[in-house]
Amino acid sequence: MSQPEAFGRYRVIRRLGSGSFATVWLAQDDLLNYPVAIKVLAENWAHQMDIQHRFLEEARILRQTDSTWLVAVHDVDVLPDGRPYMVMTYADQGSVTDLIRRGQLPLDEALRLLTEIGQGITVLHNHGTIHRDIKPSNVLLQSSPVGQRVLVADLGFAKAIDEASGFTAAAGTPGYMSPEQSIPGGDLDVRSDVYSLGAVAYELITGRPPSRPPVKVPPGRIRPGLPRALDELILSALSVDRESRPADAKTFTDRVRAIRTEPDLPKADPWWQRYQMPWRRTVTLAASLLLVAAGATASTGAPGMALTTVRDASQNILVNVPSVWAREFHTDLAAGPAAAGAGAGPGLLVATDADDWHSTEVPSYGVYATVMPGSRRLSGVSGADPCGGSPEERELHTPTWEGTVWDWPECNGGGAFTSAAVHQPGVPTTVYMEIRQPAYRPDVVNDIIGGTRLV
Ligand SMILES: Nc1ncnc2c1ncn2[C@@H]1O[C@H](COP(=O)(O)OP(=O)(O)OP(=O)(O)O)[C@@H](O)[C@H]1O
């Protein structure tokens, strides 16, 4: 297929790949100076009304859901020859299939990906849609300020829940689709996607897809040392009898999240080793921190190390933050800590956008820390609601800090929010912290708190 020069105002750069119905191109939006992926329906399908309808339906669902965890559609149009195309977010890091092929994923990384995929499918279920074709090659990855994020893609088979029974044609991919999907006219519901989530979980953890149903070999037999709860969850999702599966993507995802925060989960490499920055950029950040921050010192460690250490001299506190977050900071009350009502006052705020720390419009990631005299057990953020909904409460025990942590894994405005009130064993001084990150990573939260020091 020859490479077109442009689709509308989008200048074509190269072909990304072709599927059964469409070809996807990398293109540049020269007006907004941004790369996009453009999916063009294949010529032989472009004049079939049902396929055209399905293509536009995919675009509509992705446009309407507009979620962090789903590929976003910015526009649709039709070429002069009648082929429709959609303009999407460009996932610059390939798919989960590519990632799995590169080698075994650390368990925490596999569970993080699974949680993000589950969140994407939950958004679809809440929208009243069943994906019907969840598999590693349909989960794309995009760079984000702290690594990569998941974008669930390819809704070509997606169906409205209330239309998914009766005369539905068999659709899906063998190995990942539920037993009921292979029966034409089979009555489907969201639990078909739960089966596929179980199959993706199996592959993320063991490196291979599950056998044909009924699946009898637990992932822990292929990868020893897994928490028993994880084996049980994955096998239950892969049950032939859908009554035995978790009820929906949210139930499945909540259980993955709970397993992820178990203290005896096998440890991976320190997370920051996987978020490396070119050293020249790190030095620039450190220099700008030194310039703008009275009372702060920054050190970046060895070239390539992606942590910046910031000290607030007035509070004698020192925190480690991912360097990509350490762009701006305050040492006054401008942070507006969520627990202000409970006595959290001026503190150290290091964030990508310090002025908009609590905005739900502007994504800002970072760390706020303040020192409060006495042993306090703040009740979360005391009436404040930084994210919508109630937090998940857990006790934290690291060698240096113990206390309570409140996690909001999914904030209304995007990202995850955590607050914590911790003290050193036997020391009557409370450190109150807030951590805002693009995606919920309990290991990041624990490491940031664990690395905080009173000096
Ligand atoms: N938004 C995107 N950003 C980057 N690459 C993409 C994007 N969307 C699709 N691709 C890539 O383009 C190729 C074709 O994708 P497409 O969704 O048309 O088909 P497929 O999923 O490979 O196959 P099928 O539709 O038959 O299941 C795949 O390699 C996919 O990874």
DSSP assignments along 259-286, one per residue: HHT-TTSPP-S-GGGGS---HHHHHHHH
The residues, ordered by sequence, that sit 6+ positions from 356 with a Cβ below 8 Å of its Cβ are 362, 364
User: Does residue 216 carry a pLDDT above 70?
Assistant: yes
Q: Which of 77, 81, 92, 133 is catalytic?
A: 133
Residue 173 CA, closest ligand 1 atom number: 27
The whole-number pLDDT of residue 145 equals 62
Are residues 280 and 330 part of one domain?
Answer: yes
Q: Please report whether residue 228 resides in a domain.
A: yes
Q: Please report whether residue 436 resides in a domain.
A: yes
> Kind and range of the H or E element at 111?
helix 107-126
Ligand 1 pocket test target in 62, 73, 154, 176 with most atoms within 8 Å of CB: 154
User: Does residue 413 carry a pLDDT above 90?
Assistant: no
What CATH number is attached to the domain comprising 145? 1.10.510.10
CA of 124 to the centre of ligand 1 (A): 19
Q: What is the rounded CA–CA span in Å between residue 150 and residue 173?
A: 20
Are residues 188 and 72 part of one domain?
Answer: no
Q: What is the rounded CA–CA span in Å between residue 256 and residue 245?
A: 14
User: Does residue 293 carry a pLDDT above 50?
Assistant: no
> Kind and range of the H or E element at 406?
strand 402-408
CA of 228 to the centre of ligand 1 (A): 35
Angle between helices 249-260 and 228-237 (to 10 degrees): 170
Q: What is the rounded CA–CA span in Å between residue 111 and residue 260?
A: 7
Q: Which pair of tokens denotes residue 122?
A: 């939950």
User: Does residue 182 carry a pLDDT above 70?
Assistant: yes
Residues 232, 202 contacting (CB under 8 angstroms): no
Band of pLDDT at residue 267, cut at 50, 70 and 90: low
Q: Which pair of tokens denotes residue 112?
A: 């993080």
Which of 88, 110, 129 is a domain's end point? 88
Are residues 77 and 60 part of one domain?
Answer: yes
Are residues 408 and 331 part of one domain?
Answer: yes
Ligand 1 interacting residues, C-beta cut-off 6 A = 16-22, 24, 37, 39, 71, 88-91, 95, 137-138, 140, 153-154, 156
The whole-number pLDDT of residue 287 equals 33
The residues, ordered by sequence, that sit 6+ positions from 81 with a Cβ below 8 Å of its Cβ are 43, 46
* pLDDT, mean of residues 408-417: 81
Q: Which pair of tokens denotes residue 182?
A: 């292979």
Cross-strand bridge partners of residue 210:
none
The whole-number pLDDT of residue 299 equals 37
Q: Please report whether residue 120 resides in a domain.
A: yes
Q: Please report whether residue 265 resides in a domain.
A: no
Are residues 101 and 62 part of one domain?
Answer: no
- Encoded amino acid at 250, one letter: K
The whole-number pLDDT of residue 305 equals 35
Q: How many domains does the chain have?
A: 3
User: Does residue 303 carry a pLDDT above 50?
Assistant: no
The whole-number pLDDT of residue 294 equals 34
Annotated binding site for ATP: 39
Residue 22 CA, closest ligand 1 atom number: 18
Range of the domain at 194: 96-260
Are residues 288 and 220 part of one domain?
Answer: no
Band of pLDDT at residue 394, cut at 50, 70 and 90: confident
Residue 16 CA, closest ligand 1 atom number: 12
Q: Please report whether residue 294 resides in a domain.
A: yes
Q: What is the rounded CA–CA span in Å between residue 151 and residue 140?
A: 5
User: Does residue 432 carry a pLDDT above 60?
Assistant: yes
Dihedral, 439, 445, 451, 455 alpha carbons, nearest 10: 110
Band of pLDDT at residue 282, cut at 50, 70 and 90: very low
- Among the residue ranges 64-78, 263-277, 328-342, the one predicted with the least confidence is 263-277
Q: Which pair of tokens denotes residue 382?
A: 């005391």
Which of 88, 114, 135 is a domain's end point? 88
* Unique residue bearing structure tokens 């994923």: 105
Looking at per-residue pLDDT, the higher value among 318 and 262 belongs to: 318
Q: E strands along 214-358, which residues?
A: 298-299, 307-312, 317-322, 328-330, 348-351
Q: Please report whether residue 270 resides in a domain.
A: no
User: Does residue 278 carry a pLDDT above 50?
Assistant: no
Which of 226, 260, 294 is a domain's end point? 260
Are residues 119 and 55 part of one domain?
Answer: no
Band of pLDDT at residue 268, cut at 50, 70 and 90: low
Ligand 1 pocket test target in 24, 34, 38, 133 with most atoms within 8 Å of CB: 24
Are residues 115 and 79 part of one domain?
Answer: no
Are residues 248 and 195 part of one domain?
Answer: yes
Are residues 448 and 398 part of one domain?
Answer: yes
- Encoded amino acid at 55, one letter: F
Band of pLDDT at residue 386, cut at 50, 70 and 90: confident
- Among the residue ranges 81-95, 121-135, 183-197, 201-215, the one predicted with the least confidence is 183-197
User: Does residue 332 carry a pLDDT above 80?
Assistant: no
User: Does residue 223 carry a pLDDT above 50?
Assistant: yes
Residues 429, 373 contacting (CB under 8 angstroms): yes
The overall longest dimension of the chain from CA atoms, in Å, is: 75
Mapping DSSP to helix (H, G, I), strand (E, B) and coil, where does residue 241 land? coil
- Among the residue ranges 2-16, 287-301, 327-341, 391-405, the one predicted with the least confidence is 287-301
* pLDDT, mean of residues 351-362: 75
Mapping DSSP to helix (H, G, I), strand (E, B) and coil, where does residue 200 land? helix
Most confident of 50-54, 120-124, 141-145, 361-365: 120-124
What CATH number is attached to the domain comprising 75? 3.30.200.20
Residues 75, 58 contacting (CB under 8 angstroms): no
Are residues 18 and 51 part of one domain?
Answer: yes
CB neighbour class for 74 (10 Å; exposed up to 12, middle 13-18, buried from 19): middle
Q: What is the rounded CA–CA span in Å between residue 353 and residue 127?
A: 31
Q: E strands along 117-214, which residues?
A: 129-130, 139-144, 147-152, 159-160
Residues 449, 401 contacting (CB under 8 angstroms): yes
- Among the residue ranges 5-14, 121-130, 164-173, 190-199, the one predicted with the least confidence is 164-173
Q: What is the rounded CA–CA span in Å between residue 130 and residue 163?
A: 10
Mapping DSSP to helix (H, G, I), strand (E, B) and coil, where does residue 374 land? strand
Q: What is the rounded CA–CA span in Å between residue 272 and residue 306?
A: 6
User: Does residue 74 carry a pLDDT above 80?
Assistant: yes
CA of 173 to the centre of ligand 1 (A): 14
- Among the residue ranges 5-19, 72-86, 239-253, 385-399, the one predicted with the least confidence is 385-399
Question: Cis link prior to 214 (omega < 30° from 0)?
Answer: yes
- Using CA positions, which residue lies closest to atom 28 of ligand 1? 17
Are residues 212 and 344 part of one domain?
Answer: no
Is 332 one of the catalytic residues? Answer: no
Angle between helices 228-237 and 191-206 (to 10 degrees): 140
Q: Please report whether residue 83 resides in a domain.
A: yes
Q: Please report whether residue 266 resides in a domain.
A: no
